Amino acid sequence: MGSKIWFITGASRGFGRIWTEAALERGDKVAATARKLSAIADLKEKYGDNVLTLELDVTQPEQVKSVVEQAHAHFGRLDIVLNNAGYSLVGTIEESSAEDVRALYETNIIGPMAVIKAALPLLRKQGGGHILGTSSGLGHFTLPVIGYYCSSKWAFEAIHEALAMEVKAFGIKVTIIEPGAYATEFGSQESLKFAAGMDIYNDFKGQFVQTLSTQERGNPAATPAALFKVVDAENPPLRFNLGSHNLPAVRAAYAARLTEWEAWNDISAAAQG
């Protein structure tokens, strides 16, 4: 398939780190970005000229534009633009403040939008490319206590679905990567932010955390081969589940919705007028 040139946000840890190193190991070139350059400095030492390490805070739109353009100029093109930066807000709907939610959306939604907007003119000019975004199985169903994080992934899904229709004519492909639960650093203290707690939810949240702690988690090192099949495909999917647990959960969620919509359909249809 030939070597590809990647632009990856959030390359310092979790999937971003694993996919960055895997792409470099297979002979691709990568513009790897992170909020702190020191977090990815070792990539340069290990992979030399095949990697360009850049400091990037996706919540700073002018910096995003500059860094994307710098990466494109350095390698001459960008084949894959992968939005991987993001974090989870832990807190019930009542507990989380407007400031908490705004900050979450700045990183999880507005940041990826800035990357996409910076990349699109370059991808159009070069005749195509592939935009990937790391979403979650939680882009289709919801869990309590991380409801606002789930909402950011629902928005992420809708934005990319619309984007795919809008840029298809330019030869630009779009894929939403939807991981299930994996043993990455995403659930670590460094990747989580916590809303101020309310005592009335302590027991509920404790039970939720206990349930999560017993959840089987996939091996993130097993994911690069699957990701490469997607980016090397002539016709990649719009949505791609990562792991074996998502599809059963999504089936159950949509079956429940359809059952409820059908049960109320006579009343719904009568409201048409």
Instruction: Tell me which DSSP letter residue 136 carries.
Output: -
The residues assigned a catalytic role are: 135, 149, 153
Exposed / middle / buried, residue 10 (Cβ in 10 Å: 0-12, 13-18, 19+): buried
Q: How far is residue 206 from each of residues 36, 141, 203, measured CA to CA in Å?
A: 33, 21, 5
Residues present in the chain in total = 273
How far is it, in rounded angstroms, from Cα 273 to Cα 270? 6
Relative orientation angle of helices 111-126 and 147-167, to the nearest 10 degrees = 20
Instruction: Show the 3-state SS of 143-159.
Output: CCCCHHHHHHHHHHHHH
